[in-house]
Structure 1
Amino acid sequence: ILQRTDTIKGLSKVSFNGLITDQNGEKDTSFNGELTLTVFDKAIERQTLDNQGLGVVMTFDTQESKLFKGKASITNGEFYIEFIAPKDLRIAYGEGKLSFYAQSDTYEKGGYNTDITVGGIDTNAPEDNQGPDIKLYMNDTSFRDGDNTDESPLFMAFIEDEHGINTSLSSVDHDITAVLDDDYQNAILLNEYFITALDDFTKGELNYRFENLSPGEHKITLTAYDNYNNSSTATLRFVVEDNTELEITELLNFPNPFSESTTFSFSHNRSNQYLDVELQVFTTYGQMVKQLNQRIFATTKTSKDIIWDGSNNSGVKVKKGIYIYRLGLTDPNTKTETEAYNKLIISN
């Protein structure tokens, strides 16, 4: 860190300029990448549990409460990062800790700094009574409230607030939590899943994978707090499909007619898994002119991975006219199969 570190107070805006150095302590101007900064509150006293029942209990200090974790760009060995400290930091003054992890395309570096004081509250902080903005999705950002998902969907939350999101574990009842189907007794703590956007402490996202949800309607409710402890809550409804049978619900190609190449688009009831695709193109007399086999990873329930350049299996362009095509789909996990047919026109 280049500058002298001031006291980190609750609600204060903190910024750091720093360098990545080489083995000689000089700025490493060749280093370009990302820095992850973790800011810890003061150490707290813990005791061992005497699990073996020997009557021996030891006291030790541990620095485990994170006030902030964010990312900054490193350009030519230099970085700049800023954030707002949460109101929930422990008011008593004491020694905090900065932990640095830097990564480029070729190597990694780490470091820390304990020459920093944490405590107090910034009495001149601007007023804020507005909670964060929250957007929720399942599997991808095209998801809409009430849409269908598979049994193990990826829950996605995008959270934004001008004063940053509270992920401090020193807070009480100010965590990022998700509640599935109103089961508040088993709320899911998501602080550690939240990742601050690069070079922007005001927003970030979290991804959490649910596993083996039962078929039918479900509801997920997420609550998040900003660093002023203003809260917001958002709810997303979704339906888990019974995916015993593999289905193709829509099949088309575009452009159609085409002369150079065409892309095949198909919708199905699988996502976030591999699928085996077989495309066969036939003349109107039933003669097969082309077969394509490809394994794809279906991130969403609409796939656009198959492209045909209009050539036959020998690499020769086929004649203009109307053709029938068949798309076969196989789930390699369940070995279930399905197929669909449509027409295309070659106009060359």
Structure 2
Amino acid sequence: MGLTSNAVLVLAVSLAVGLFAATIRLWPRLAARTASAVAGRIGLLLATQLALFVSAGLLANNSFLFYGSWADLFGQKQDLGTVTDHGAGEPVAGGVARIGTQRPDVPGGGRPAVAGRIDKVVVSGRASRIDSPAYVYLPPEYFQPAHARRTFPAVIVLTGYPGTAENLVKGLRYPQTAHEQVRAGRAQPMVLVMLRPTVAPPRDTECVDIAGGPQAETFFAEDLPQAVSRTYRVGSRARNWGVIGNSTGGYCALKLGLHHPERFAASAGLSAYYRAAEDPTTGDLFHGDRKARNRADLLWSLDHRAPAASSFLVTTSRQGEGNLRGTREFIDRVKAPARVSSIVLDSGGHNFNTWRREIPPALEWMSGRLSAT
């Protein structure tokens, strides 16, 4: 049973309730001062508390999807090579290998021309030599005869750290939200390429090209768009591509849009921060290179780079987010011909509930700034 399955949660809750009932029933029998009775009381209390702790943890994880699997929970590194071998065909260098499909959680989910389709893929980067798992959401129009020759705009969607791509499908419901926005006439059909920014797990690379290490920025800015454009009916120009993310993914999205206007016309950072994190999870990103560190500072970059005709969206809240001041600074430093928009909630923390409130208008904003041709 998977970590996020309801069966595991029900089993844990049932065990906690059963142990609680057993404690009440057996406590009078264990009231003696003998060693066995004391050990029994201690054992019941510890077992009950452990079961309650596990139940609460599973409930929180099912709500916010901090971890997508048992392997993710225990920090086990997954072997992407093995996953690639399960595909219908071997990926070419710098390509996309589809290793499975799943139905979007929308009405008519079994029919791609009605609900679209989600492909589970592995993207192999030619320049970066990075392989990364991802989900690709194809809208219903992609499968409809009337749109058989149409190309679609594409959006890279990034989680936070240490999230999984599954968070974007199950927790933040990007495919379902995109489907609803199109049906309501608020957005155009777009291909969503959903993955986490952690391309060298468990290390948090902050979408940086690390000297002697993972070339994460090259993967996202060069390899990923090229591989997807060769595999799906997606345009290859800047006006065809956008990038959106939350938290670490939001920082990466804004960074990619700022430093690669030739690749991305629009970028949106939900609860983003504006300087690359440097902590034990990142390791040494810059190896003393001050120029590289400055470049990873988005506020510094806005002051020292010639502005391009890019569009940025940033989000924060007046109460609950820690990036309010940084977001205001980012807005103030964007210069024409670049454009900046914002979503400022009255209150909202750094969590899935806040991002679910921001994703629908963010997708509508993104759709208005991308073109299918």
| Superposition TM-score tier, normalisation by shorter sequence | under 0.3
More helix by share: 2
Greater strand content: 1
TM-score normalised per structure 2 = 0.23
| TM-score using structure 1 length | 0.24
